[in-house]
């Protein structure tokens, strides 16, 4: 039988994830698979843990990568920290906050939704009021970087408010980790999850998570076992936990862990602060170009994520047709709107390895030529210059 190999087309990934994966990460992932309890792999797990502590800015011992994508990190936090009957205040300012609420309900918890405006940060005052109205609440959940709109919330403030009301926090940092400051210990956040495929520029499939001592305590003292066997931290801790002899729980995706180790190594070489500064710099140039073209941002400037730029689609322009052309003519992927913003915005990612000057200029030029060919009401001939002057 003759079968053909799958050879993916060459793309530049400037959507909401996955982002371009560094060749160094791809090369690391192609190294020989070894046993997941091999002493060499156990040593690698310890290094990955230390590197994740660096990325998350935490000393939490319970820091590891869940063997599944970001959504599984989300689920890990909820199934472990929410018991049936628990009241959880969920801040919702986009698609991912909505998923958090769904998680609470499926865990048998009572979700109190703090509904915010899409495209805005979570309002701390609204959280404060919800907690006053619900003194029985034990957990507060919110999304730090809402990828569906491009808004960033003030995690330090939200964690402080939650703590003042005796609540643990669950924080989604899938899109922020490696792109904008995620300061787990400084915030005093309790259960924080992320993903490998956004600003860490690693292949999709793993979810870094970290749990504070308070959160681990709560998981250890649950009245009933965690409903999910696979995501039960009491069991996973025996596998990823330090010191103690590792016990078989599941088989880690060995080569994916090689990739994460390399991606975190790249982040450490650059330095977290330098990575944050790079995301801010290229966002500044992209923004200058998009605005010169006449496109406008969904999120007010002070609440905007540099790594996820949601801009409104010009009047009368077919969203899908533009994205299809960018893909066909330039190999360039940008994201569509999600949820309430579907068909209304594009989401242009500047994440990790893909966040560079070449991509900013290519995206502006490609978007301009595509839109002007469709007679869109935009300014032409100015975007690339505006971006160049933003670079200075
Ligand atoms: C992408 C994303 C997720 C889900 O991650 P997957 O890797 O797609 O499962 C969760 N939350 C936010 C904010 C995201 O951007």
- pLDDT above 90 coverage of the chain, percent: 95
As a whole number, the mean pLDDT across the chain is 96
Q: Which atom of ligand 1 is nearest to the CA of 144?
A: 13
Q: Which atom of ligand 1 is nearest to the CA of 17?
A: 1
Task: Say which CATH class 23-268 falls into.
Answer: alpha beta
Q: Which atom of ligand 1 is nearest to the CA of 74?
A: 10
User: For residue 72, how far is its CA from the centre of ligand 1 (angstroms)?
Assistant: 9
Which fold is adopted by the domain 271-391?
3.90.1150
Closest CA to 143 of 169, 105, 171, 165: 171
Task: Give per-residue pLDDT as tens, 283-310.
Answer: 999 999 999 999 999 999 999 999 999 9
Domain ranges of the chain: 23-268, 271-391
Whether residue 326 is predicted with pLDDT greater than 80 in this model: the reply is yes
In sequence order, which ranges of the chain are alpha helices (DSSP H)?
23-29, 39-56, 70-81, 95-106, 124-133, 155-164, 184-187, 213-220, 233-240, 254-270, 272-293, 319-330, 357-373, 383-391
Whether residue 347 is predicted with pLDDT greater than 80 in this model: the reply is yes
Query: How does residue 218 score in pLDDT terms, banded at 50, 70 and 90?
Result: very high
Task: Give per-residue pLDDT as tens, 101-111.
Answer: 999 999 999 99
Does this chain's domain 23-268 share its CATH topology with 271-391?
no
Q: How many CA atoms lie within 13 A of 368 on its CB side?
A: 22
Q: Report DSSP letters for 132-173, one per residue.
A: HH-TTEEEEEEESEETTTTEE--HHHHHHHHHHTT-EEEEE-
Residue 242's pLDDT is 60
Q: Is residue 11 classed exposed, middle or buried when 0-12, 13-18 and 19+ CB atoms within 10 A define those classes?
A: middle
Query: How does residue 243 score in pLDDT terms, banded at 50, 70 and 90?
Result: low
Residue 240's pLDDT is 86
Q: Whose Cα sits closest to atom 7 in ligand 1?
A: 70
- Residue 190 carries which DSSP code? S
Residue 244's pLDDT is 52
């Amino acid at each position: 039988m003759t079968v053909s190999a799958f050879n993916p087309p060459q793309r530049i990934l400037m959507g909401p994830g996955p982002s371009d994966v560094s060749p160094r990460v791809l090369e690391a992932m192609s190294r020989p698979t070894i046993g997941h309890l091999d002493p060499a792999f156990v040593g690698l797990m310890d290094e990955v843990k230390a590197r994740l502590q660096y990325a998350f800015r935490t000393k939490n011992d319970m820091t590891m990568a869940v063997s599944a994508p970001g959504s599984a990190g989300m689920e890990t936090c909820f199934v472990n920290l929410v018991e049936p009957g628990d009241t959880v205040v969920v801040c919702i300012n986009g698609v991912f906050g909505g998923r958090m609420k769904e998680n609470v309900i499926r865990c048998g918890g009572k979700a109190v939704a703090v509904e915010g405006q899409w495209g805005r940060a979570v309002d701390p005052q609204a959280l404060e009021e919800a907690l006053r109205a619900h003194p029985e609440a034990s957990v507060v959940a919110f999304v730090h970087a809402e990828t569906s709109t491009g808004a960033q919330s003030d995690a330090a403030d939200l964690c402080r408010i939650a703590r003042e009301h005796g609540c643990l926090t669950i924080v989604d940092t899938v899109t922020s980790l490696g792109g904008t400051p995620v300061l787990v210990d400084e915030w005093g956040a309790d259960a924080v999850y992320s993903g490998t495929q956004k600003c860490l520029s690693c292949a999709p499939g793993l979810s870094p998570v970290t749990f504070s001592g308070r959160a681990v305590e709560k998981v250890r003292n649950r009245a009933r076992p965690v409903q999910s066997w696979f995501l039960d931290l009491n069991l996973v801790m025996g596998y990823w936990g330090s010191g103690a002899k590792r016990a078989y729980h599941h088989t880690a995706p060995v080569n994916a862990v090689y990739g994460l180790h390399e991606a975190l190594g790249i982040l450490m070489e650059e330095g977290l602060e330098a990575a944050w500064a790079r995301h801010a710099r290229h966002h500044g140039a992209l923004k200058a170009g998009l605005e010169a073209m006449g496109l406008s941002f969904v999120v007010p400037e002070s609440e905007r994520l540099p790594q996820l730029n949601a801009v409104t689609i010009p009047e009368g322009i077919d969203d899908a047709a533009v994205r299809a052309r960018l893909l066909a003519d330039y190999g360039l992927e940008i994201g569509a709107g999600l949820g309430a913003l579907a068909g209304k915005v594009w989401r242009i990612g500047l994440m990790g390895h893909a966040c560079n000057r070449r991509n900013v200029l290519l995206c502006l030029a490609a978007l301009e030529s595509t839109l002007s060919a469709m007679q869109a009401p935009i300014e032409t001939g100015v975007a690339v210059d505006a971006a160049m002057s933003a670079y200075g």
